[in-house]
Structure 1
Amino acid sequence: MTIKEQLIREIEQAPESSLIKFMRIWQLAKQSSFTAISAEDWEQHQETLFVLQNDDLMKQISRSMATHEQRQGYQPSKGEMDEILSF
Protein backbone atom coordinates (compact mmCIF):
# COMPACT_ATOMS: atom_id res chain seq x y z
CA MET A 1 0.00 0.00 0.00
CA THR A 2 1.41 3.39 -0.95
CA ILE A 3 1.67 6.32 1.46
CA LYS A 4 -1.06 8.10 -0.50
CA GLU A 5 -3.38 5.08 -0.15
CA GLN A 6 -2.62 4.86 3.58
CA LEU A 7 -3.35 8.55 4.03
CA ILE A 8 -6.65 8.27 2.15
CA ARG A 9 -7.62 5.26 4.30
CA GLU A 10 -6.78 7.16 7.52
CA ILE A 11 -8.78 10.19 6.39
CA GLU A 12 -11.79 8.05 5.54
CA GLN A 13 -11.72 6.46 9.01
CA ALA A 14 -11.06 9.66 10.98
CA PRO A 15 -13.81 11.39 12.97
CA GLU A 16 -15.17 14.63 11.54
CA SER A 17 -13.44 16.84 14.14
CA SER A 18 -10.08 15.34 13.16
CA LEU A 19 -10.83 15.94 9.50
CA ILE A 20 -11.54 19.61 10.16
CA LYS A 21 -8.23 19.91 12.03
CA PHE A 22 -6.44 18.10 9.22
CA MET A 23 -7.94 20.44 6.61
CA ARG A 24 -6.70 23.48 8.54
CA ILE A 25 -3.21 22.01 8.73
CA TRP A 26 -3.35 21.12 5.04
CA GLN A 27 -4.34 24.68 4.12
CA LEU A 28 -1.45 26.05 6.16
CA ALA A 29 0.94 23.56 4.58
CA LYS A 30 -0.12 24.63 1.10
CA GLN A 31 0.47 28.29 2.00
CA SER A 32 3.96 27.77 3.38
CA SER A 33 6.67 25.21 3.78
CA PHE A 34 6.61 22.91 6.78
CA THR A 35 8.91 20.56 8.61
CA ALA A 36 8.22 17.15 10.08
CA ILE A 37 9.05 17.00 13.80
CA SER A 38 8.91 14.28 16.41
CA ALA A 39 5.88 13.82 18.63
CA GLU A 40 7.96 14.90 21.64
CA ASP A 41 8.98 18.15 19.91
CA TRP A 42 5.36 18.74 18.88
CA GLU A 43 4.22 18.38 22.51
CA GLN A 44 6.93 20.79 23.68
CA HIS A 45 5.87 23.34 21.07
CA GLN A 46 2.23 22.98 22.13
CA GLU A 47 3.16 23.51 25.80
CA THR A 48 5.19 26.60 24.88
CA LEU A 49 2.30 28.01 22.85
CA PHE A 50 -0.08 27.33 25.74
CA VAL A 51 2.10 29.32 28.13
CA LEU A 52 2.65 32.16 25.66
CA GLN A 53 -1.09 32.45 24.99
CA ASN A 54 -2.05 32.32 28.69
CA ASP A 55 -2.11 35.87 30.10
CA ASP A 56 -2.11 34.72 33.73
CA LEU A 57 0.96 32.52 33.26
CA MET A 58 2.80 35.25 31.36
CA LYS A 59 2.07 37.74 34.19
CA GLN A 60 3.28 35.21 36.75
CA ILE A 61 6.51 34.69 34.77
CA SER A 62 7.00 38.45 34.51
CA ARG A 63 6.51 38.94 38.26
CA SER A 64 8.85 36.04 38.97
CA MET A 65 11.54 37.49 36.72
CA ALA A 66 11.25 40.87 38.47
CA THR A 67 11.59 39.37 41.96
CA HIS A 68 14.47 37.19 40.75
CA GLU A 69 16.35 40.18 39.34
CA GLN A 70 15.83 42.04 42.63
CA ARG A 71 16.80 38.91 44.60
CA GLN A 72 13.50 39.14 46.49
CA GLY A 73 11.96 35.89 45.33
CA TYR A 74 11.50 32.65 47.24
CA GLN A 75 14.70 31.34 48.81
CA PRO A 76 14.70 27.55 49.17
CA SER A 77 16.02 26.05 52.39
CA LYS A 78 19.35 24.19 52.49
CA GLY A 79 17.46 20.90 52.46
CA GLU A 80 15.44 21.94 49.41
CA MET A 81 18.59 23.06 47.63
CA ASP A 82 20.33 19.75 48.43
CA GLU A 83 17.32 17.89 47.02
CA ILE A 84 17.24 20.07 43.88
CA LEU A 85 20.97 19.76 43.23
CA SER A 86 21.29 16.03 43.96
CA PHE A 87 20.34 14.53 40.65
Structure 2
Amino acid sequence: YNADESYQPRDYLAATMQFIPGYFACDVVWSTVIYIHPRLKMGPNMGVSRAIQALRSVLNAFCVVNRKNMFVYQERTTKSVFYLR
Protein backbone atom coordinates (compact mmCIF):
# COMPACT_ATOMS: atom_id res chain seq x y z
CA TYR A 1 0.00 0.00 0.00
CA ASN A 2 1.14 3.56 -0.52
CA ALA A 3 0.80 6.61 1.73
CA ASP A 4 -2.51 7.65 0.11
CA GLU A 5 -4.23 4.39 0.97
CA SER A 6 -5.52 3.71 4.43
CA TYR A 7 -4.10 0.62 6.04
CA GLN A 8 -6.40 -1.51 8.14
CA PRO A 9 -4.43 -3.82 10.43
CA ARG A 10 -5.89 -7.31 10.46
CA ASP A 11 -5.74 -9.96 13.10
CA TYR A 12 -3.05 -12.59 12.71
CA LEU A 13 -5.64 -15.32 12.15
CA ALA A 14 -7.63 -13.42 9.53
CA ALA A 15 -6.23 -15.50 6.66
CA THR A 16 -7.03 -18.75 8.45
CA MET A 17 -10.67 -17.74 8.69
CA GLN A 18 -10.98 -17.09 4.95
CA PHE A 19 -9.86 -20.51 3.70
CA ILE A 20 -11.15 -23.91 4.71
CA PRO A 21 -8.56 -26.55 5.68
CA GLY A 22 -7.17 -28.22 2.57
CA TYR A 23 -7.95 -25.27 0.28
CA PHE A 24 -4.35 -25.16 -0.96
CA ALA A 25 -3.87 -28.95 -0.97
CA CYS A 26 -2.50 -30.63 -4.07
CA ASP A 27 -4.56 -33.24 -5.89
CA VAL A 28 -3.70 -36.85 -5.12
CA VAL A 29 -1.87 -38.26 -8.13
CA TRP A 30 -1.23 -41.78 -6.87
CA SER A 31 -2.24 -43.63 -3.74
CA THR A 32 -1.51 -47.08 -2.37
CA VAL A 33 -1.89 -48.93 0.90
CA ILE A 34 0.95 -50.97 2.32
CA TYR A 35 -0.50 -53.81 4.36
CA ILE A 36 1.40 -55.09 7.37
CA HIS A 37 1.14 -58.78 8.11
CA PRO A 38 -1.02 -59.41 11.21
CA ARG A 39 1.85 -61.23 12.93
CA LEU A 40 3.89 -58.01 12.80
CA LYS A 41 1.16 -56.03 14.51
CA MET A 42 0.86 -56.06 18.26
CA GLY A 43 -2.15 -55.71 20.49
CA PRO A 44 -3.15 -52.41 22.10
CA ASN A 45 -1.54 -53.35 25.44
CA MET A 46 1.69 -54.58 23.89
CA GLY A 47 3.04 -51.24 22.64
CA VAL A 48 4.55 -50.68 19.21
CA SER A 49 5.87 -53.73 17.38
CA ARG A 50 9.54 -54.05 16.49
CA ALA A 51 8.62 -54.01 12.79
CA ILE A 52 6.84 -50.66 13.11
CA GLN A 53 9.75 -49.28 15.15
CA ALA A 54 12.18 -50.36 12.42
CA LEU A 55 10.00 -48.81 9.71
CA ARG A 56 9.77 -45.52 11.62
CA SER A 57 13.52 -45.42 12.20
CA VAL A 58 14.15 -45.79 8.45
CA LEU A 59 11.52 -43.18 7.54
CA ASN A 60 12.67 -40.77 10.26
CA ALA A 61 15.13 -39.13 7.85
CA PHE A 62 12.15 -38.18 5.64
CA CYS A 63 9.73 -37.00 8.35
CA VAL A 64 7.78 -33.75 8.11
CA VAL A 65 8.37 -32.03 11.44
CA ASN A 66 4.99 -30.36 11.91
CA ARG A 67 2.83 -33.31 10.74
CA LYS A 68 2.40 -36.61 12.59
CA ASN A 69 3.12 -39.73 10.51
CA MET A 70 3.88 -37.65 7.38
CA PHE A 71 7.02 -38.20 5.32
CA VAL A 72 8.34 -36.53 2.17
CA TYR A 73 10.61 -37.83 -0.58
CA GLN A 74 11.96 -36.15 -3.72
CA GLU A 75 13.05 -38.30 -6.64
CA ARG A 76 16.47 -37.22 -7.88
CA THR A 77 16.02 -37.64 -11.62
CA THR A 78 12.57 -36.09 -12.15
CA LYS A 79 12.51 -33.90 -9.02
CA SER A 80 9.03 -35.30 -8.30
CA VAL A 81 7.94 -34.90 -4.67
CA PHE A 82 6.06 -37.66 -2.86
CA TYR A 83 4.29 -37.37 0.48
CA LEU A 84 3.80 -40.57 2.47
CA ARG A 85 1.27 -40.91 5.24
TM-score by length of 2: 0.20
Higher RCO, Cα 8 Å, sep 6+:
2
**Comparing both structures, which one devotes a greater share of its residues to helix?**
1
TM-score by length of 1: 0.20
